[in-house]
Amino acid sequence: MTAQIIDGKAFAAKVRGQVADGVARLKADHGITPGLAVVLVGEDPASQVYVRNKGVQTEEAGMRSVTHRLDAGVEQIELLNLIYQLNGDDEINGILVQLPLPAHIDASFILDAIDPQKDVDGFHMSNVGRLATGQKAMVPCTPLGCLMMLRDHLGDLSGLNAVVVGRSNIVGKPMAQLLLADNCTVTIAHSRTRDLAAVCRGADILVAAVGRPEMITGDMVKPGATVIDVGINRVGRDGKTRLVGDVDFASASEVAGAITPVPGGVGPMTIACLLANTLTATCRWHNLPEPE
Ligand code: NDP
């Protein structure tokens, strides 16, 4: 293996430490404790694990954590009323609705009901528009975590060729917007892209957010490129499973200059960025200087 491993676990711990310091200062100087409300609808096992982890890490950072668990059959209006109640609650600075929502609920309608200033997931239409037009926005946590790792590893990203494989609203598109804002030359690839391998080989920065286990192989990576693997795929059989990314780590790490592992890469950064966004939202709400 030639590639340097980008240690997302260690970086996330550093970010959580910085957030905890910021929270401690807010409390000491202004008597403010940021509050994050997470809304979980239904019993999806993966969502339950995510929500539990979010709650634990929120409290570890010194913030208030509130979890609302609703039955899978909850009426849309009931969920909407909870969002309105949280919008009006002065002790809550961040609201996150855990996705996916059950099919009878219109997810985009619910996400757009969240006060954009409390929208720590950055999925509200006004935050999407603000990010796309270069204005101050709440930025989706996973792509924000990827950007932080890239800046930390590469410094100035200006002029680099970035290829984002995947165009979802929660990862691919906001990732592309962030890289564009950092002056990369950005290509978004997707399932209809012709000669994906050739497109990927043009990338100084290659971000894989596809949802297909180990699809990006070493022959698709430019020598020395920085590879960010967003994918989380559980593979295996007979009760023995393991997590793999969208990148074939074994072959890609022979060619790349640096690469994020799965697990231990992008994943831990996502919750760290959620905490960072909650602190940022609290500072903006109270017109206080934002953490750097
Ligand atoms: P989506 O399924 O919403 O989007 C996948 C994208 O990949 C689509 O744009 C699709 O293209 C594209 N795609 C699918 N197949 C191919 C192909 N053969 N060639 C090129 N492009 C393809 O996934 P998400 O964006 O939500 O998630 C992507 C991955 O990231 C998943 O593994 C998910 O688990 C993981 N993830 C990890 C997070 C973390 O915290 N680390 C957070 C969120 C997601 P098209 O639009 O044409 O269909």
Do 145 and 262 belong together in one domain? yes
- Condensed to tens digits (0 to 9), the pLDDT of residues 170-217 reads 999 999 999 999 999 999 999 999 999 999 999 999 999 999 999 999
Q: Which atom of ligand 1 is nearest to the CA of 266?
A: 41
Do 166 and 245 belong together in one domain? yes
Do 36 and 74 belong together in one domain? yes
Round to whole Å and give the CA distance between 6 and 28.
34
Final residue of a domain: which of 116, 151, 176? 116
Instruction: Check which CATH number belongs to the domain holding 53 and give it.
Output: 3.40.50.10860
Query: What is the pairing mode between strands 35-41 and 64-70?
Result: parallel
Buried b (16+ CB within 10 A) or exposed e, 183-198: ebbbbbbeeebeebee
What are residue 207's DSSP bridge partners?
164, 228
Do 250 and 212 belong together in one domain? yes
- Condensed to tens digits (0 to 9), the pLDDT of residues 22-75 reads 999 999 999 999 999 999 999 999 899 999 999 999 999 999 999 999 999 999
Classify residue 283: in a domain, yes or no. Answer: no
165, 168, 234, 275: residue to mutate for ligand 1 pocket, most atoms within 8 A of CB:
168
pLDDT given at position 238:
80
pLDDT given at position 292:
77
- Condensed to tens digits (0 to 9), the pLDDT of residues 213-249 reads 999 999 999 999 999 999 999 999 888 899 999 999 9
Do 75 and 168 belong together in one domain? no
Do 186 and 103 belong together in one domain? no
- For ligand 1, atom 18, which residue shows the shortest CA distance? 191
Classify residue 13: in a domain, yes or no. Answer: no
Helices (H), 95-160: 107-111, 125-132, 141-154
Classify residue 18: in a domain, yes or no. Answer: no
Contact (CB, 8 A) for 61 and 16: yes
Structural domain including 226 reads 141-267
Domain count of the chain? 2
Classify residue 26: in a domain, yes or no. Answer: no
Residue 48 among the catalytic residues: no
Q: Give residue 31 CA to ligand 1 midpoint distance, Å.
A: 42
Q: Give residue 12 CA to ligand 1 midpoint distance, Å.
A: 22
Q: Give residue 168 CA to ligand 1 midpoint distance, Å.
A: 6
Do 106 and 199 belong together in one domain? no
Classify residue 207: in a domain, yes or no. Answer: yes
Per-residue confidence band for 291, with pLDDT thresholds at 50, 70 and 90? confident
Contact (CB, 8 A) for 213 and 247: no
Do 146 and 260 belong together in one domain? yes
- For ligand 1, atom 2, which residue shows the shortest CA distance? 211
Give the global pTM. Answer: 0.97
Q: Is the dihedral of CA 246, 251, 253, 255 positive or negative?
A: negative
Contact (CB, 8 A) for 160 and 184: yes
Do 60 and 161 belong together in one domain? no
Classify residue 255: in a domain, yes or no. Answer: yes
pLDDT given at position 68:
97
Do 106 and 157 belong together in one domain? no
- Condensed to tens digits (0 to 9), the pLDDT of residues 69-122 reads 999 999 999 999 999 999 999 999 999 999 999 999 999 999 999 999 999 999
Residue 121 among the catalytic residues: yes
Round to whole Å and give the CA distance between 149 and 236.
29
Classify residue 83: in a domain, yes or no. Answer: yes
Do 148 and 229 belong together in one domain? yes
Do 103 and 194 belong together in one domain? no
- Condensed to tens digits (0 to 9), the pLDDT of residues 146-161 reads 999 999 999 999 999 9
Q: Give residue 222 CA to ligand 1 midpoint distance, Å.
A: 21
Binding pocket residue ranges, ligand 1, CB within 6 Å: 142, 165-168, 170-172, 189-193, 196, 209-212, 230-233, 246, 266-267, 270
- For ligand 1, atom 42, which residue shows the shortest CA distance? 142
Instruction: Check which CATH number belongs to the domain holding 262 and give it.
Output: 3.40.50.720
Classify residue 272: in a domain, yes or no. Answer: no
